[in-house]
Structure 1
Amino acid sequence: MSNGAGRPPEHRPRTVSAPSIPRALLHALTTLLAAFLVALAAAGPAGAAPPDDDLVKVFVVQDPARTGGQLATLPSIAAAVLGDPARADEILRLNQGQTQKDGGALTGPGDQLHPGWILRLPQDASGPGVQLARDTSGQGGGTSAPPGSGQPAGPGTGGGQSSTVLTIPLAAAAALLGAVLLALVTAGIVGRRKVRAGWSAAGRALGRLGEPARRRRRLAQRQATGRWFDADAESVRRAYDALGEFAATDRAPERAVHALSVDPREVTVWLSPSETADAPWTNVDGTRWRRPAGAPGPYAPSGTAPAAAAPTAACLVRAGTDADGRPVFVDLSRLDGVLSVTGEKAVARDVVQNLLAEIARTRPGTPVTVLRGAADAPPVLVPPSLRQVPQAGPQAVAAPAPARGTVRAAASRRPLQGLVVVAGTPDGREAAELAALCGPGGAGWTGLVYGGSPDAHWHWYADGEGRVDIPVLDLKVTVPA
């Protein structure tokens, strides 16, 4: 046919109309346009913002009433904004001797930080706690309070000057909003799906480009934690001191402490759900109890160090750091046999490697035997201060007894006599040897497996970010590398 009337519907000419912009897009355009006009009106004739070459990054110490009772410390600030609690000394050097608005000053690493103090940070600090303030050290001293901090300028915070308000230059605001409006209009005309797919692909590509650098930063932070553990003996001493408060007395039997967390401000312990602690300990949840660091219980020992502990005493090791950068100790003598760490293989190996390093620092000479499990498991290095034996020979090993339940409910204390390390999931022969050495009725050794072990009493799970989930404690820690 010569005309279009008899063509099939799919071949009929269609009237081309103006591109339709969906309602949501129109709403976004209207909102952005309103914001653009408000910015123009608010800017007025003020002109450009003051130069920002004297802006510095600061951290404002919050009142504990606004942070759930947690008062910041130099290590916790360094962990939050620098990713490394060991960099607390950098913050100390930047602020040492600077008079704060309440007349106090930071003089040493152990000083308590007061709410309202404004602490200057290194320029690579980042995170939600980082604010910008104006450096007034050349105008009478100190740093002016950052906008929105609620802190007036005063001694040490600007030398009596008023707070500095940061503004966005009018030209920059106009250019930014204009570019956003243009991009949205273009997206509606050209085609939402193609633009959305392009942005998604670009985001994935940028994510892939940034992933190696992010992993390197994460690894560097974990390595810094390992160096911190090597040099920090004070937290170990304080952990054993806190543990002594729950030892058996003529008034009460021993209360099982499965884990501890210590820092200069407070001590936290994980008890069994059925057990309680006396004042000054306060209950945080069903199993966690907390007290201020300077308020030990009435039966606390003084100066109990791991080297002086009896052979049957606990074996505290730092499993890693919690979300606030505090070291978390677990008691290996409460494993009641075997610990199994699964998940990311390299991180699981790091968990076992760190536990060996912890034992080497506090119990040198402990015998260790290594069993080769899965062929693809990364190898473990036994610290030279531990005594590596080629093969452990249990004497008169009895038949394994039935399992007695979960760790928190039924595990009993087993003194650390020796360690069996299994690289990867053990095969049948190695599983039998592990049970003979570490199982119920066995030789009394403790097993550390970075791989699956169904007979283990404790199961930890590692991810690729260096974090380890400890379900029995409802806790996640970052392990050293």
Structure 2
Amino acid sequence: MSNGSSAPPPQRPGIGNTYRGARTALRALAVLLVGCLAALGVAASATAADGDDLIKVFVVQDPAQTGGQLATLASVAASTLGDASRAGEILDLNRGLAQPDGGALNGADDQLRPGWILRLPPDASGPDVQQARDTGNQGTASSAPDGAGAPGGGSGTTAAGSTMFTIPLAAAIAVLGAIVLALVTAGIVGRRKVRGVYGAVMRAVHGMGAPVKRRRRLMLRRAMGRRFATDADSVRRAYGTVAEFAAGRPRPETPVYALRVDNAGATVWLSASDALEAPWRSIDGTRWRHATAGAGWLDGPVDGGTASWAATSATCLVRVGTDTEGEAVFVDLSRLDGVLSVTGDHGVARDVVQNVLAEIARIRPDTPVTVLRGADGAPPPALPAGLTQLGRADLPAATPSTAVHGTVRAAASRRPVQGLVVVAGTPTGQEAAELAALCGPGGAGWTGLVYGEVSGAHWRWYTDADGDVDIPALDVKLTVPA
């Protein structure tokens, strides 16, 4: 007969002690693991401190790599600082410093020799700017560009007087052993704890690998910029492909918004309402592929062919980046009809605009450009040497017959790239008015490139920290040069 209450079940001897012992061991191992990770943190801090002595440099290229053009202090200042008149700053930073060939820069008229490494001001930027480790020696300039020194991608130099922190192999093995033992002990206590510890360890591993991944990707994007600077053949073939869609009797022009040329053919982006005949094949609603188009077209001289097309055609093709297969994708800037707004990661958005400027400088030199500062204080781009920078007093006036109400147009249309307005960041009220006066309805007919938020842009691109740009109008995501 039960009295309504039940006695607790008998407990097997030793179970409680075993559980408490395992819990105590787990706590001890956790303390040991935290101590080991703290030691690794000190090592990481010491390693990170080594990066504080990185400086920006320019490596003088051999004329054979630059089309026979010799670098000068003025050209270096123009390409890295956006202002040729700042050549004196570069001279002051490098005066008397010993170069790799034993020479030294002592005056403004000295000829720059291939292989010389010139130190640059901190605000230098652009595809020609590299990072180097400062040796700290006042009488030398032996810093090597990042990735061009010792094997393994380092600079090959170490700052004078710096302290190197290393982790002995035995300590590293002890840390790994502690992690494994902690996981095994957690498995004895409970599976849930195993999953929690495993997830924490994996997150830590991924976190430690993120900087390496970002650095590898940055090197890839820089290599892409150097490739674009020397690859004129793809530009010529792209213009040759667009020529097939030009207006001719009795057909009108077929608008091509973007295209890609490769060794196997060409792909074009058209309006959804347009269709092509064989041998063009539809990929989706807007993309068409020709298996042999683009190869061998426009076989005349590279410079003459490309320059003549750029000068006589409203088409303005620029390589925005590469797709997942590593092939360059061109966009026709004359189809933007006003303003392009690039948002997302500020640094990558700036790289997008910087690359577009470099592309225009190569195919349409002397294009006028004006730069406006935005409200968020974003740094302005370094204008390539081939473009003509105008002050506000030299800008064209808007057409007085049409009222200006922003940059919105009823329908996108084509217009040649007569000039460029670059806005560094989100425009303020005054800059928005100037942008509308130059690029909006009734304006001067210029094209706006904004790396920031702006209302009324017909084209909007979005960037991320990995160096990619998403172009919704084309339904494509590209990796951009750095």
Same fold, judged at TM 0.5 (above): yes
- Once residues 437 and 271 of structure 2 are traced to their aligned partners in structure 1, the CA distance between those partners, rounded to angstroms, is 28
Match of 2:361 in 1: 360
- Once residues 293 and 431 of structure 2 are traced to their aligned partners in structure 1, the CA distance between those partners, rounded to angstroms, is 48
Opposite residue 315 of structure 2, the aligned amino acid is A
Alpha carbons of structure 1 residues 185 and 218: separation in structure 2 relative to 1, 3 Å: closer
- Once residues 262 and 471 of structure 1 are traced to their aligned partners in structure 2, the CA distance between those partners, rounded to angstroms, is 20
Match of 1:394 in 2: 396
- Once residues 420 and 295 of structure 1 are traced to their aligned partners in structure 2, the CA distance between those partners, rounded to angstroms, is 32
Q: Is the CA contact (8 Å cut-off) linking 1:320 and 1:328 kept in structure 2?
A: yes
Q: Is the CA contact (8 Å cut-off) linking 1:370 and 1:420 kept in structure 2?
A: yes
Match of 2:307 in 1: 307
Alpha carbons of structure 1 residues 13 and 477: separation in structure 2 relative to 1, 3 Å: same
Opposite residue 307 of structure 1, the aligned amino acid is A
Q: What are the superposed Cα offsets for residues 147-201 of structure 1, whole Å, 9 maximum, x if unpaired? A: xxxxxxxxxxxxxxxxxxxxxxxxxxxxxxxxxxx99986553212222221111
SS of residue paired to 1:317: strand
Tell me if 1:208 matches 2:207: yes
Tell me if 1:370 matches 2:371: yes
SS of residue paired to 1:426: coil
Tell me if 1:15 matches 2:11: yes
Opposite residue 276 of structure 1, the aligned amino acid is A
- Once residues 478 and 195 of structure 2 are traced to their aligned partners in structure 1, the CA distance between those partners, rounded to angstroms, is 37
Match of 2:458 in 1: 457
Match of 1:324 in 2: 325
Task: State the shift of 1:387 in Å.
Answer: 0.4
Alpha carbons of structure 1 residues 211 and 295: separation in structure 2 relative to 1, 3 Å: closer
Unpaired segments ≥5 residues, structure 1: 20-123, 125-181
Match of 1:446 in 2: 447
Correspondence list, 1:9-158, <5 A: 15=11
Task: State the shift of 1:444 in Å.
Answer: 0.4
Q: Is the CA contact (8 Å cut-off) linking 2:338 and 2:448 kept in structure 1?
A: yes
Opposite residue 446 of structure 1, the aligned amino acid is T
Q: Is the CA contact (8 Å cut-off) linking 1:394 and 1:436 kept in structure 2?
A: no
Alpha carbons of structure 1 residues 190 and 356: separation in structure 2 relative to 1, 3 Å: same
Q: TM-score, normalised by structure 1?
A: 0.59
* Runs of 4+ more than 4 Å apart: 5-9, 16-19, 182-188, 294-297, 300-304
Q: TM-score, normalised by structure 2?
A: 0.59
Alpha carbons of structure 1 residues 244 and 294: separation in structure 2 relative to 1, 3 Å: closer
Q: What are the superposed Cα offsets for residues 239-277 of structure 1, whole Å, 9 maximum, x if unpaired? A: 000000000010210000000001111100000111112
SS of residue paired to 1:205: helix
Aligned length in residues: 309
Opposite residue 305 of structure 2, the aligned amino acid is A
Q: What is the CA RMSD across the aligned residues, in angstroms? A: 3.0
Alpha carbons of structure 1 residues 296 and 272: separation in structure 2 relative to 1, 3 Å: farther
Q: Is the CA contact (8 Å cut-off) linking 2:247 and 2:254 kept in structure 1?
A: yes
Q: Is the CA contact (8 Å cut-off) linking 1:404 and 1:411 kept in structure 2?
A: yes
- Once residues 214 and 443 of structure 2 are traced to their aligned partners in structure 1, the CA distance between those partners, rounded to angstroms, is 42
Q: Is the CA contact (8 Å cut-off) linking 2:298 and 2:305 kept in structure 1?
A: no
Task: State the shift of 1:207 in Å.
Answer: 1.3
- Once residues 369 and 188 of structure 2 are traced to their aligned partners in structure 1, the CA distance between those partners, rounded to angstroms, is 70
SS of residue paired to 1:330: strand
Alpha carbons of structure 1 residues 6 and 421: separation in structure 2 relative to 1, 3 Å: same
Task: State the shift of 1:376 in Å.
Answer: 3.7
- Once residues 455 and 295 of structure 1 are traced to their aligned partners in structure 2, the CA distance between those partners, rounded to angstroms, is 35
Opposite residue 277 of structure 2, the aligned amino acid is D
Q: Is the CA contact (8 Å cut-off) linking 1:280 and 1:295 kept in structure 2?
A: no
SS of residue paired to 2:342: strand
- Once residues 223 and 14 of structure 1 are traced to their aligned partners in structure 2, the CA distance between those partners, rounded to angstroms, is 71
SS of residue paired to 2:223: helix
SS of residue paired to 1:276: coil
Range with greater deviation from structure 2 (441-450 or 372-381): 372-381
Task: State the shift of 1:293 in Å.
Answer: 2.9
Task: State the shift of 1:360 in Å.
Answer: 0.6
Alpha carbons of structure 1 residues 320 and 396: separation in structure 2 relative to 1, 3 Å: closer
Q: What are the superposed Cα offsets for residues 320-353 of structure 1, whole Å, 9 maximum, x if unpaired? A: 0011101000000000000000000000000000
Opposite residue 306 of structure 1, the aligned amino acid is T
Alpha carbons of structure 1 residues 329 and 192: separation in structure 2 relative to 1, 3 Å: same
Q: Is the CA contact (8 Å cut-off) linking 1:239 and 1:261 kept in structure 2?
A: yes
Tell me if 1:262 matches 2:261: yes
Q: Is the CA contact (8 Å cut-off) linking 1:311 and 1:415 kept in structure 2?
A: no
SS of residue paired to 2:257: strand
Q: What are the superposed Cα offsets for residues 443-463 of structure 1, whole Å, 9 maximum, x if unpaired? A: 000000000011111000000
Match of 1:473 in 2: 474
Alpha carbons of structure 1 residues 184 and 396: separation in structure 2 relative to 1, 3 Å: closer
Q: Is the CA contact (8 Å cut-off) linking 1:245 and 1:301 kept in structure 2?
A: no
- Once residues 453 and 354 of structure 1 are traced to their aligned partners in structure 2, the CA distance between those partners, rounded to angstroms, is 20
Q: Is the CA contact (8 Å cut-off) linking 2:257 and 2:331 kept in structure 1?
A: yes
Range with greater deviation from structure 2 (319-328 or 199-208): 199-208
Match of 1:219 in 2: 218
Q: Is the CA contact (8 Å cut-off) linking 1:469 and 1:475 kept in structure 2?
A: yes
SS of residue paired to 1:342: strand
Task: State the shift of 1:312 in Å.
Answer: 4.4
- Once residues 401 and 427 of structure 1 are traced to their aligned partners in structure 2, the CA distance between those partners, rounded to angstroms, is 16
Match of 1:50 in 2: none
Opposite residue 451 of structure 1, the aligned amino acid is G
Alpha carbons of structure 1 residues 325 and 401: separation in structure 2 relative to 1, 3 Å: same
Alpha carbons of structure 1 residues 433 and 239: separation in structure 2 relative to 1, 3 Å: same
